[in-house]
Copies of this chain bind each other. A is one copy, B any other.
Amino acid sequence: MLGIRMMRQMGELALIQRIRSGVAAELGSHTAARGVSVLLGIGDDCAILRPPKGDEILVTTDFTLEGRHFRREWHPPESVGHRALARGLSDLAAMGARPLAAFLSLALPAEMLATRAGRGWVERFFSGLRGLAQIHQVPLAGGDTSESPCGLVLADIVLVGSAPASRAIRRSGARAGDALYVTGNLGGAAAELAAMELRSSRVKSNFAGSIPANEVGAHPQLFPLPRVEVGLALLRRHLATAAIDLSDGLSTDLTHLCSESGVGAEVLSAALPIHPLALQARSDRALHFALNGGEDYELLFAASPKTKIPLSIAGVRITRIGSIVSRNVVSILDSAGHRKPLKPGGWEHFASGR
């Protein structure tokens, strides 16, 4: 039952205060690292940012809701924090924007704040978020905290970035004849998630706040790597005509890009760079992971046929997977040369049965 009362549960408020202090300390070190882009962080009514002169501001918000986007039984807390930030960074990467600051609204269950194990979860969550934030030098500049009304961890991450005026890479710029590329590998996140579901037990985590160097890329579901540097290079070097990040799966996100550009596309099945984890499955399942498994957070981009695209950008392998065509249809050619329509079939995260 809900009731209104004056709350004097200073335990909760104190913990939230502690989180804020930790975040503020974090902000201090990051602000120093990034110059004066964040002038005022947590502790006033708003944060104040000073974007680079003449730049435009890019903003994206993404939910991370327990039971929809992660499961506490499966995802270690570092992964939940990492993935929350990765979702927003990946949106900035898709437009070639430089991250300026992140904001986190976080609601935590009262019982989590009341136990040592629960508080440990929160600290590990922030540790995961901090690890990825440090890689991309993006300060956590503010947000909101609340007690969760339903016993679930609820987060919403906001990323603010900047890009030179009129230069952000949009979904709508692809033209017939353009070549189609992806970064990294596809299907790894879905394959790792399927393995987690199969084990149906919690994945033990050895991560202490950030991704150990030898683990980079090894956990595409738990610790996806948003392609911020690739996006910046695509914009700076005028390489892409259009881009989108692969959050919902290639089939869905390619359809979005084509729809916004008013074009179609042809994907070569044999050209897809399938993630080693996905390749451990049967070949039709591996292809399904690569085409429809979301959450890889790779970039999909189109480039003019006149543009020479290097084999790797910012250390990330780039693979040509097909072409943009004028006919308003997205299709896939199998290795025997048979053409089939490629319909949106991305993961819609978890279905809720509560």
Q: Are A105 and B58 in contact (CB under 8 A)?
A: no
CA distance A104 to B197 in the complex (A): 32
Number of interface residues of A (CB under 8 A): 83
From A57, A107, A142, residue with most partner B Cβ within 10 Å:
A57
Q: Are A50 and B44 in contact (CB under 8 A)?
A: no
8 Å CB interface, A53-69 against B = 56-63, 65-69
Q: Are B160 and A63 in contact (CB under 8 A)?
A: no
Q: Are A351 and B61 in contact (CB under 8 A)?
A: no
Q: Are A57 and B60 in contact (CB under 8 A)?
A: no
A318 on interface, CB distance cutoff 8 Å:
no
The 7 closest A-B pairs by CB, nearest first: A67-B149, A7-B348, A150-B150, A156-B156, A46-B58, A45-B94, A45-B91
Q: List 20 A-B contacts (CB under 8 A).
A: A2-B352, A3-B350, A4-B347, A4-B350, A6-B345, A40-B170, A45-B92, A46-B97, A48-B56, A48-B95, A49-B57, A51-B51, A57-B57, A59-B142, A61-B105, A61-B158, A62-B105, A63-B107, A66-B149, A150-B150
From A45, A171, A193, residue with most partner B Cβ within 10 Å:
A45
- Residues from chain B with a CB closer than 8 A to the CB of A193 are 4
8 Å CB interface, A138-190 against B = 141-144, 146-152, 154, 156, 158-161, 163, 165, 168, 170-172
A146's contact among B58, B59, B65, by CB below 8 Å, is which? B65
- Residues from chain B with a CB closer than 8 A to the CB of A245 are 45
Q: How far is the CB of A14 from chain B (nearest CB, A)?
A: 13
- Residues from chain B with a CB closer than 8 A to the CB of A105 are 61-63, 156
A39's contact among B46, B56, B347, B354, by CB below 8 Å, is which? B56
A71 on interface, CB distance cutoff 8 Å:
yes
A43 on interface, CB distance cutoff 8 Å:
yes
Taking A43-B260, A46-B91, A65-B149 as known contacts, 6 extra A-B pairs with beta carbons closer than 8 A to each other, sorted by chain A number, are A4-B197, A46-B94, A47-B60, A146-B349, A148-B352, A149-B352
Q: Which residue of B lies closest to A97 (CB)?
A: B46
List residues of chain A with CB under 8 Å of any chain B CB.
1-7, 9, 13, 39-40, 43-51, 56-63, 65-69, 71, 91-92, 94-95, 97, 101, 103-105, 107, 110, 141-144, 146-152, 154, 156, 158-161, 163, 165, 168, 170-172, 193, 197, 244-245, 260, 292, 345, 347-354
Q: A68-B147, A352-B110, A353-B3 are contacts. A47–B63 as well, Cβ < 8 Å?
A: no
A354's contact among B63, B68, B150, B165, by CB below 8 Å, is which? B150
How many copies altogether? 2
- Residues from chain B with a CB closer than 8 A to the CB of A172 are 44
Q: A59-B160, A152-B150 are contacts. A347–B6 as well, Cβ < 8 Å?
A: yes
Q: How far is the CB of A9 from chain B (nearest CB, A)?
A: 8
Q: A61-B103, A105-B62 are contacts. A149–B354 as well, Cβ < 8 Å?
A: yes
Q: How far is the CB of A45 from chain B (nearest CB, A)?
A: 4
- Residues from chain B with a CB closer than 8 A to the CB of A40 are 168, 170
- Residues from chain B with a CB closer than 8 A to the CB of A142 are 59-61
Q: How far is the CB of A99 from chain B (nearest CB, A)?
A: 11
Q: How far is the CB of A313 from chain B (nearest CB, A)?
A: 18
CA distance A187 to B134 in the complex (A): 44
